[in-house]
A and B are shown apart, each in its own frame.
Chain A
């Protein structure tokens, strides 16, 4: 072929001095990088995805892995990536798909936002000693309370509260569908959500019957493909989420490749075995905001107005106005998924170039809702690339009620962000339906790891709040006064409504 091959991405080598020839690398690598020939383990580096399964399972630390073993002539514009993408497209004539979230190297706004702490003029609060309240209610709240007098002359509350989800921590686990990820991954996260007093999204792939025991902590998703959606499913969820868009690929749908549609996935999604599970770009019963209202209310009617209904949108340019429309739709929460949100697979050009970062989106949505007097109509759930408790704290200070974590939860189960989710061969048992691989993830162990992560972030958030002299999450929410920008330009600071460091 006149184009030849592109160089391998990784070079794997074994320190033969260290190697005890146990063969664990061969067993563990589902991509076939290692094989045995005679008494020697051979390596085919081109097959490596840098999932690091072999490295972490090698008892002798004998395996090393290097990125980009071959250098191109360096060029600031024609990067390796630019050149290789062209080669792939010249060869195939197709759209490039990629796994995991945005990989462009635009700077993170979170990293340039700094949190505040108390010195002298008010005391820091020690969360070990003093009360620290992270309890968060997600759902519609009245904008004011009304009271009435009873015949006995007592004053009682006249306002009726809408159903809300009660979270013990503002960290929720976002929607990743069964099908895209394994049942054991779902079970791990569901157990963790129950254990930590929070909620987990089902994603759009339905609710596997083994998750029924955790349904009280599950948010069932209704996406354009309507997979697994029927009235039982809606009733099982603690809340219902309509997925309009996703930060990793705003404006387009998705599809689960037929290879991943196993018997169980087929049954849970209620679709034919082995056929692609296609989610169209729009919901074909929603072509306008009033149609969204109709779907929100239809879901509410179907569940007799007992469940909060969320609407998830990708953070696009006009996100504030869209969220304002959603706030008037009877929905109870708006989920904003920023451009760094993860995905099993997305066209690379969308993943890296469409949508706006979550920081700006939270700020503008919160602002718009307050201007319109509808901030209490909906909770704001922020998602898309939440890496640590600092991102969480900053999201809340910008105005979010809670965050969804996705990739972070996967990493806590073993994922190394190799980005090959779509291949269905995940050696960590997460993004796969191959039973031998799925079995590698023990749901009990996985649940403990996900719980640990949520606990750890929750502890750190408490410490950050305590240091800022705040003992209740309500006082952190939208408290942009406790943020300062560092090396952010005036334009962004204005959108965020945050002062410069030192100001």
Chain B
């Protein structure tokens, strides 16, 4: 396997990203970035199917517009990892800030621990070829899956008494689904979001995602396959149709 190692210590993000792009163009299968500290936009707009290992704490918008690669972050991530991501996978061995997977349209973002506010906001799906997924091991703060127009947000609540305790889940959701382990109190739901029964068929659909997440973090999937989930989906694909009258 062709591996390229880059020491990112004290490097500005523009030259760092240029090196990453050059390595991808050069056919590197694995690109290891050491001593990453605060560099933004790592993997931004990168195509192909290489594997980018980030050792350290990347800055905001890691993997924004990314279209293909797998990016493993060995550390926490800041603001908006997986922002408007297109294809590929982002795995965060830690927690992440606000607006995780914002406007994401394809690929997977797996966060081992917790995420901040507005996770999965405005995720959207086009047919089956581009279905974004955000899986959170721990919990998420308010406005999870707000304005969602497709895709999947899954919260496993590992180590939590309740997977979700913050409000505004799925405000304005008009596509896709939010699946939360355990019960979700009604008052946590946002406008336009509705709880649905989590069926066996739903579990069958979700199982591969859970297994894939567990595989990434070396977890046993069994406890997550034998448990209750709450499925939250749009009350309507036209959440605001009733708000207006025409002149």
Q: Given A96-B247, A230-B65, A304-B21, answer yes or no on A274-B237 (Cβ-Cβ < 8 Å).
A: yes
Q: Given A229-B84, A230-B84, answer yes or no on A95-B244 (Cβ-Cβ < 8 Å).
A: yes
Q: From A225, which residue of chain B is reached at the shortest CB distance? A: B122
B67 contacts partner chain A, Cβ-Cβ < 8 Å: yes
Residues of A within 8 A of B67 (CB): 230-232
Comparing B37-45, B153-161, B178-186, B224-232, the segment that makes contact with chain A is B37-45
Residues of B within 8 A of A234 (CB): 45, 65
A275 touches B174 (CB 8 A): yes
Q: Which of B18, B21, B130, B147 contacts A280 (CB 8 A)?
A: B147
A301 contacts partner chain B, Cβ-Cβ < 8 Å: yes
B121 contacts partner chain A, Cβ-Cβ < 8 Å: yes
A97 touches B246 (CB 8 A): yes
Q: Given A99-B247, A278-B174, answer yes or no on A255-B83 (Cβ-Cβ < 8 Å).
A: no
Residues of B within 8 A of A226 (CB): 84, 103, 105, 122, 124
Q: Given A258-B237, A302-B45, answer yes or no on A271-B103 (Cβ-Cβ < 8 Å).
A: no
A95 touches B237 (CB 8 A): no
Chain A: interface residue total (CB-CB under 8 A): 50
Q: CA of A269 to CA of B246 in the docked complex: distance in angstroms?
A: 25
B150 contacts partner chain A, Cβ-Cβ < 8 Å: yes
B245 touches A278 (CB 8 A): no
Q: Given A270-B105, A298-B44, A298-B64, answer yes or no on A284-B118 (Cβ-Cβ < 8 Å).
A: yes
Residues of B within 8 A of A302 (CB): 41, 44-45, 64-65
Q: Which of A97, A227, A280 contacts B244 (CB 8 A)?
A: A97
Q: From A272, which residue of chain B is reached at the shortest CB distance? A: B175
A294 touches B149 (CB 8 A): no
Q: Per-residue 0/1 for B87-107: is the Cβ within 8 Å of any A Cβ (1 yes, 0 no)? A: 000000000000100110100
A276 touches B242 (CB 8 A): no
Q: Which of B126, B174, B243 contacts A94 (CB 8 A)?
A: B243
B60 contacts partner chain A, Cβ-Cβ < 8 Å: yes
Q: CA of A272 to CA of B126 in the docked complex: distance in angstroms?
A: 5
A482 contacts partner chain B, Cβ-Cβ < 8 Å: no
Q: Given A96-B247, A231-B86, A285-B102, answer yes or no on A301-B240 (Cβ-Cβ < 8 Å).
A: no
**Count the A-B residue pairs with Cβ separation under 8 angstroms: how many?**
148
Distance in Å from the Cβ of B97 to the closest Cβ of chain A?
Answer: 11
A348 contacts partner chain B, Cβ-Cβ < 8 Å: yes
Chain A 75-107 residues near chain B, CB threshold 8 A:
88-89, 91-92, 94-99
Distance in Å from the Cβ of A13 to the closest Cβ of chain B?
Answer: 24
Q: CA of A422 to CA of B240 in the docked complex: distance in angstroms?
A: 14
Residues of A within 8 A of B47 (CB): 231
Q: CA of A99 to CA of B243 in the docked complex: distance in angstroms?
A: 16
B238 contacts partner chain A, Cβ-Cβ < 8 Å: yes
B84 touches A301 (CB 8 A): no
Q: CA of A97 to CA of B244 in the docked complex: distance in angstroms?
A: 6
A301 touches B45 (CB 8 A): yes
A297 contacts partner chain B, Cβ-Cβ < 8 Å: yes
Residues of B within 8 A of A278 (CB): 147, 149, 172, 174, 239-240
Q: Which of A92, A275, A305 contacts B149 (CB 8 A)?
A: A275
Secondary structure class of chain A's binding surface, majority of residues: mixed
Residues of B within 8 A of A419 (CB): 247
Residues of B within 8 A of A225 (CB): 103, 122
Q: From A84, which residue of chain B is reached at the shortest CB distance? A: B247
Residues of A within 8 A of B112 (CB): none
Residues of B within 8 A of A451 (CB): none
Secondary structure class of chain B's binding surface, majority of residues: loop
Q: CA of A422 to CA of B237 in the docked complex: distance in angstroms?
A: 18
Residues of B within 8 A of A92 (CB): 245
A294 touches B60 (CB 8 A): yes
A276 touches B241 (CB 8 A): yes
A257 contacts partner chain B, Cβ-Cβ < 8 Å: yes
Which of B18, B21, B105, B241 is the most central at the interface, judged by chain A CB atoms within 10 Å of its CB? B105
Residues of A within 8 A of B130 (CB): 270
Q: Given A301-B13, A348-B247, answer yes or no on A276-B65 (Cβ-Cβ < 8 Å).
A: no
Q: From B16, which residue of chain A is reached at the shortest CB distance? A: A301
Chain B 26-64 residues near chain A, CB threshold 8 A:
40-41, 44-45, 47, 60-61, 64
Q: CA of A422 to CA of B80 in the docked complex: distance in angstroms?
A: 33
A294 touches B40 (CB 8 A): yes
Q: Given A257-B241, A298-B44, A301-B45, answer yes or no on A285-B79 (Cβ-Cβ < 8 Å).
A: yes
B14 contacts partner chain A, Cβ-Cβ < 8 Å: yes
Q: Given A230-B105, A271-B150, A271-B175, answer yes or no on A347-B239 (Cβ-Cβ < 8 Å).
A: no
Q: Given A226-B103, A275-B237, A285-B102, answer yes or no on A298-B124 (Cβ-Cβ < 8 Å).
A: no
Which of A92, A277, A298, A304 is the most central at the interface, judged by chain B CB atoms within 10 Å of its CB? A298
A276 touches B239 (CB 8 A): yes
Distance in Å from the Cβ of B131 to the closest Cβ of chain A?
Answer: 11
Q: Per-residue 0/1 for A14-31: is the Cβ within 8 Å of any B Cβ (1 yes, 0 no)? A: 000000000000000000
B240 touches A276 (CB 8 A): yes
Residues of B within 8 A of A294 (CB): 40, 60-61, 79
Residues of B within 8 A of A267 (CB): 126
Chain A 220-237 residues near chain B, CB threshold 8 A:
224-227, 229-232, 234
Q: CA of A304 to CA of B24 in the docked complex: distance in angstroms?
A: 14
Q: From B129, which residue of chain A is reached at the shortest CB distance? A: A270
Distance in Å from the Cβ of A248 to the closest Cβ of chain B?
Answer: 13
A136 contacts partner chain B, Cβ-Cβ < 8 Å: no
Q: Which of B14, B237, B245 contacts A272 (CB 8 A)?
A: B237
In the complex, given contacts A229-B103, A271-B149, what are 4 additional A-B residue pairs having Cβ atoms less than 8 angstroms apart? A226-B84, A277-B149, A278-B174, A302-B64
Which residues of A are at the interface with B, using a C-beta cutoff of 8 A?
A: 88-89, 91-92, 94-99, 224-227, 229-232, 234, 255, 257-258, 266-267, 269-272, 274-278, 280, 284-285, 291, 294, 297-298, 301-305, 347-348, 419, 422-423
Pairs A-B, 4 closest by C-beta atoms: A302-B45, A226-B103, A275-B237, A98-B247
What are 26 of the A-B contact pairs (CB < 8 Å)? A92-B245, A94-B245, A95-B243, A226-B84, A226-B105, A226-B124, A229-B84, A234-B45, A271-B149, A272-B126, A275-B237, A276-B174, A276-B239, A278-B149, A278-B172, A284-B103, A285-B79, A285-B102, A285-B103, A294-B61, A297-B40, A298-B65, A298-B83, A301-B13, A301-B17, A301-B40
